[in-house]
Amino acid sequence: MNVIDKTLYHQIHPFKLITDVISAFLAVYLFWLHSIVTGLIVAFIPSIVISLFMIKAMDFEKQKNSGFGRYVKRYMGRGTDTARSLGFLVMLAGGWFHYFWVIVLGFLVIIAAWMNGFVYKRQMPSQSPSRRQGR
């Protein structure tokens, strides 16, 4: 498996998901307390360190061959990554300004980004209308 595939599939490994969820909510709490430096460290360093370790040391064939892996391969792109990042920034802003509803809004943006494949069905090249009709 190449680095590009590892970068994609490590995102759905339980260890990475748990790291990201815990560090995100802890960072939002630290922003709520106006501890910006510690909040930024908690928001980004654990995720980066875990990602680098996982991509270097782990195999993600199990994730790649799972239903979730097929979903991620099909629907997770730069737009989705951007939406997830923006949602997280919204959460941090909500924490900083003490708006719980903004934190929830940011979280919903992240969830919507992860679920974009259920809303926007992308047609795979092998399923194009001309191929199905034998043209």
How do the domains of the chain map onto residue ranges? 3-126
| pLDDT value at residue 40 | 98
pTM score, whole prediction: 0.85
Residue 14: CB atoms within 10 Å: 8
Split at pLDDT 50, 70, 90, the class of 123 is: low
| pLDDT value at residue 120 | 72
User: Does pLDDT of 135 surpass 90?
Assistant: no
User: Does pLDDT of 74 surpass 70?
Assistant: yes
Split at pLDDT 50, 70, 90, the class of 119 is: confident
User: Does pLDDT of 100 surpass 70?
Assistant: yes
| pLDDT value at residue 1 | 87
| pLDDT value at residue 134 | 46
Q: What is the mean pLDDT of residues 76-105?
A: 96
Residue 9 tokens read as 């599939």
User: Does pLDDT of 122 surpass 70?
Assistant: no
From the list 96, 9, 113, 11, the residue with the least C-alpha distance to 59 is 9
Spatial neighbors of 96 by CB under 8 A, at least 6 apart, are: 31, 32, 34, 36
Split at pLDDT 50, 70, 90, the class of 130 is: very low
CB-CB contact of 103 with 57 (8 Å):
no
From the list 72, 104, 90, the residue with the least C-alpha distance to 6 is 72
Longest dimension (CA), the chain: 62
User: Does pLDDT of 49 surpass 60?
Assistant: yes
